[in-house]
Amino acid sequence: MEALTRAHPDVETSRRPDVTTSSSGPARATTSARGSDEAREFFERLTLPAALRRRFLAAFKEEHRFHTTIRLSREDMAALRDLCYELDARMGIAVTRNDVGRLALRLLLEDYALRKRKSLLVQILDEEKEQY
């Protein structure tokens, strides 16, 4: 994990010289479609039903006993760090990178359990498989 220091409320600097960070705005992954109309339309239609939201929150509050590690690109790590900072500083929602990762995983697991071949995960991985 990169150790960050806060020199100024709007500027984050890394203690590691080999890790670059930016606070000029959320990091953009080069392969992302974040700005596309198609992506925006898809995500704007998403609404989490209250019962599912409560189930995620209950699972999130469960004791988590296992530790694991995942590898992220610099862009993903910067985007995750920026997201956590924005949620905390601008929306008052205290959250860690671990919290975000656990909730994202829960979402993918739930989607797969319900929709199997039509799940977002399978759609993405099948797309990659077809490219080879």
What is the domain partition of the chain in residue ranges?
49-132
- Say which amino acid occupies 95: V
Instruction: Evaluate if pTM is beyond 0.85.
Output: no
Three-state secondary-structure class, residue 7: strand
What number of other Cβ atoms are within 10 A of residue 54's Cβ? Answer: 11
Residue 110 has what pLDDT?
Answer: 94
Residue 9 has what pLDDT?
Answer: 42
Query: Which residue bears the tokens 């760090």?
Result: 81
109, 119 contact by CB (below 8 A): no
The 10s digit of each residue's pLDDT in 66-113 is: 899 999 999 999 999 999 999 999 999 999 999 999 999 999 999 999
